[in-house]
Amino acid sequence: MLGDIDHIEIEASDAEEMAEFLKSLGYEEHRETTHHGQSFELVPEDGDGPLFEIHTVEGEEVPGINHIAYAVEDIEAITEKLKEDENVDQVSDPYYVEHTGRTITNFRDPDGRRFQMVEDDE
């Protein structure tokens, strides 16, 4: 069911500062969007590793990893499998995120951590 890790979303105290930190480690900017106010997507310069999606913390969020997203094909079928699995909680219906060009399904593990399945529509 799982594909490769599509992205890891990090909530940072300052998204721009976090993006600059990752650039110093060998990441490069893939794109900047207005998703969650201001968002930076960074990929490793050598292409080996997941995309990091960085946002500035807002509201009741706290700094840290917000979720890990897995790349999939046929998100509708995978969402139905997740809904049937008693070990998976709070499965959302798939929805399209215009800022990122992805269709996503959110779900939670038994401790309430959020994960995503992602189908890239680009």
How does 16-30 read in b/e, with b if 16+ C-beta sit within 10 Å?
eebbeebeeeebeee
pLDDT tens digits for 11-34?
898 899 999 999 988 899 998 988
* pTM of the model as a whole: 0.78
Least confidently predicted of 5-9, 25-29, 33-37, 41-45: 33-37
Q: Where are the domains of the chain?
A: 5-120
The CATH number assigned to the domain with range 5-120 reads 3.10.180.10
C-alpha span between 32 and 26 (Å, rounded): 17
**Whether residue 87 has pLDDT greater than 70:** yes
